[in-house]
Amino acid sequence: MDSRIKSLVKKLTLEEKVSLCSGSDYWHTQEIERLGIPAVMVCDGPNGLRKQDLEADNPGINNSIKSVCFPAGVSLAATFDTDIVRNVGETLGEECQAENIAALLGPGINIKRSPLCGRNFEYYSEDPFLAGKIAASYINGVQSKGVGTSLKHFCANNQEFRRNSYDSRIDERTLREIYLKGFEIAVKESQPWTVMCAYNMVNGVQMSENRRILTEILRDEWGFEGMTVSDWGAVRDRVKGIAAGLDLEMPGSQGTYDELVISAVNSGELDEADLDRCVERVLSFVFKAADNHNDEAVWNKDKDHVYARDLANECIVLLKNENRVLPLKNDEYVLFVGGFAKKPRFQGGGSSHVNCGTVDSTMLAMQWNSKVRYEEGFSAEDDSFDRSKFDSAVKAAHSVEKVVVFAGLPEIYESEGYDRSHMDLPKVQNDLIDAISAVNPHVIVVLENGSPVTMPWIDKVEAVLETYLCGEGVGVATARTLYGKSNPSGRLPETFPIRLEDNPSYVDYSSDVTKIDYREGIFTGYRYYTKKKMPVLFPFGHGLSYSTFTYGLMKCDTEKMKDNETVEVTVDVINESNIPGKEVVQLYVEPDILNTKIVRATRELKGFTKVFLDAHEKKTVRFVLDKSAFAYYDTDISDWYVEPGDYKIEICKNADEVIAYKTVNVSPKKPKKIVYDENSIYKDLKEDHAAWKVAGPYFEKYINGVLKAQNADEAAKDAFKADLDVFLNDMTLRNVLNMSNGAFTYKEMRDVIDKLNS
């Protein structure tokens, strides 16, 4: 801790200390002029600056300054490219410097548990590894410019329904492996200046008062050094919050809780040392921001708009492209249908909503080409049906070579603050795609949506381009992709199920309850679909290219490793086509399901890299895996543990398609101590060489006793012995005691247990 901060804390009165732990308004920290403590400003985030200059309010009713809207979280994750995401972060950091912003409120990395969550567009993935890696790159980018971030919403904030009060009830292993893992990766790899605690409760404790998660896990286990801040209005009991390690309350509550905190300190209910720690962390944040402020920074919005276009191109995912209907040719007669072609949807609603200066539409981007015609067909604003627009689009579709339907979710369908009630596009859009496919065989659907939708027409169309919500450059980026000026390279950061009912959280999600049981456990997203071998519309990690990629030699530098060692994996990737393009190489680890003693997912993502390949170029891609690629969270030892055994290291096209694999045997350097008791079973003891040395003779004694009582010849006895061996598999030591007719005594059982445990 900076000695300047320590000495300031000493000079502050109790009242001043308490006031510092709460904002002065919506966006500023408290100033204390007499000690030279400045107020600093924070703003949303995450995909562009939402800086409210004058009339501040959290829901964003009052306009914010003109800004540049970059791709939303889902789109950034779809890049599968940590370098690009770092670069976005750097750009946002520079913009913040120019606007004198101390921290940008993002990234939001909650797991997409259900396709219905209203904020899915803002979040990265259903997979914590991808979410954590993308978040770390974003944070490192922003913070490299001397501006802070706020990793949010910590944690298990996976729905908008009753978002301020529901209780996420999650077992410890699932919490660690799925809902905390992304945060853990981001904290360890990027040290965000701040972490924002979520609105909800976790296992019965409000997150703003959750000492175990905010202090014991976040700080003590992961080594977080920054400031914790409440989500806007997430504080319930400020006294408990301070004791739990929640440093800053936002927005300020105009002193509402200050009196309570002061009297709690005076009465001894709250330890002043806890308050001091919060104050120290608030001051460290404030001075870090002030010290790093760059007065000379300028924000060139035109330049950033051009950058937003290029970025959008990195995010777009080509889901289907039959008969190579895409890319379109300049001299083809093409009909664009759908309000989104002129009025694109490119960002989500709520606190991340940016006040854009310039927005590109695809129609505008294509105005140079007179062979492109337009029919509205349906409105981008809502789900209304207009017979004449509908019919006119179908009629026009007859006479062109190809039709591009710009479909998507109207803004009102998905936003912060509420969840979707279904996963469908507006009926009018589905009907129009059907009607157009009936008259034209070459239909391409461009989607603008923040979260998966059903596609009842999927077999009737030739191509689908998922643009998600890719920011204000969407129009030009889409035109470039449709016409082959840009080669799509995005991959799905989530599974698109065929129907909502297939999603593992379906039975629990959003029913009108306040206690949400995460009954699917670790089986979120592709972990569930792959385990169930369930067909999906498009798997996690899926995405096509105009290039054709193949894979060559795959190698691992070892076949056997201890968990304190690493394994290097290399694979050759080849672009077989004449078109330069980018491939996303995905690495998953698959445990040996038949020989594991714990429930595990079929495979889990443990590495990814995006590689550019020129026409006919070959490159070798390299990954290094450590223990974390093989470990699961073991609640017996409250730690990560690698179960000894074989693991397949797989290079995959997506979560469903393995291209090549190698098997590596991994064992823990420090095997976990097994505690034996009356319930220890025959099979486990037999498989453990050392344990069998101790327990084996007792079982032998029992078996021989049983055999002796048999009145049979040697061959029959041998056969019986083999059967008995199978029968005994699940027998516990106490079962043997009960059944041995006195041959295996209570004393002997206690002796065996003691010997095994020593």
Interface residues with ligand BGC (CB under 6 A) are: 44-45, 58, 105, 152, 231-232, 351
The answer to whether 359 touches 344, Cβ cutoff 8 Å, is yes
* Residue of 397, 402, 502 whose CA lies nearest to 442: 402
**Shorter beta-carbon distance to ligand BGC: residue 233 or 696:** 233
What is the nearest approach in angstroms of ligand BGC to the Cβ of residue 350?
A: 7
What is the distance between the terminal CA atoms of the chain, rounded to a whole angstrom? 45
Q: Where are the alpha helices (DSSP H) in 454-506?
A: 474-482
Cβ neighbours around 179 below 10 Å, total: 24
One-letter amino acid at 612 equals: F
Tokens encoding 617: 């170029």
Residue 613 pairs in a beta bridge with 581
Exposure letters 552-561 (e unless 16+ CB within 10 A, then b): eebebeeeeb
The verdict on whether 459 is a catalytic residue reads: no
Burial of 401 (0-12, 13-18, 19+ CB in 10 A): middle
What is the nearest approach in angstroms of ligand BGC to the Cβ of residue 249?
A: 13
Long-range CB contacts for residues 457-464, cutoff 8 Å, separation at least 24: 457/430, 457/433, 458/320, 458/537, 460/433, 460/434, 461/320, 461/405, 461/433, 461/437, 462/320, 462/321, 462/322, 462/323, 462/325, 463/318, 463/320, 463/321, 463/322, 463/325, 463/326, 464/318, 464/319, 464/320
Residue 453 pairs in a beta bridge with none
**Shorter beta-carbon distance to ligand BGC: residue 58 or 392:** 58
CA distances (Å), 568 to each of 559, 572, 607, 618, in order? 11, 14, 12, 19
**Shorter beta-carbon distance to ligand BGC: residue 107 or 339:** 107
The answer to whether 155 touches 207, Cβ cutoff 8 Å, is yes
Matching residue, tokens 């603050």: 417
Sign of the CA dihedral with 156 first, then 157, 161, and 165 last: positive
* CA–CA dist 278, 501 (Å, integer): 45
Instruction: Give the CB-side neighbour count of residue 23, counting CA atoms within 13 A.
Output: 21
**Shorter beta-carbon distance to ligand BGC: residue 105 or 737:** 105
Catalytic residue among 81, 167, 231, 563: 231
* CA–CA dist 536, 498 (Å, integer): 5
* CA–CA dist 604, 595 (Å, integer): 17
**Shorter beta-carbon distance to ligand BGC: residue 229 or 372:** 229
- The most distant pair of C-alpha atoms in the chain lies apart, rounded to whole Å, by 100
* CA–CA dist 24, 248 (Å, integer): 11
Matching residue, tokens 């369930």: 534
* Residue of 610, 456, 18 whose CA lies nearest to 265: 18
Q: Where are the alpha helices (DSSP H) in 210-271?
A: 211, 238-244, 258-267
**Shorter beta-carbon distance to ligand BGC: residue 137 or 351:** 351
Beta strand segments in 249-395, E: 317-321, 334-337, 372-375
Catalytic positions: 231
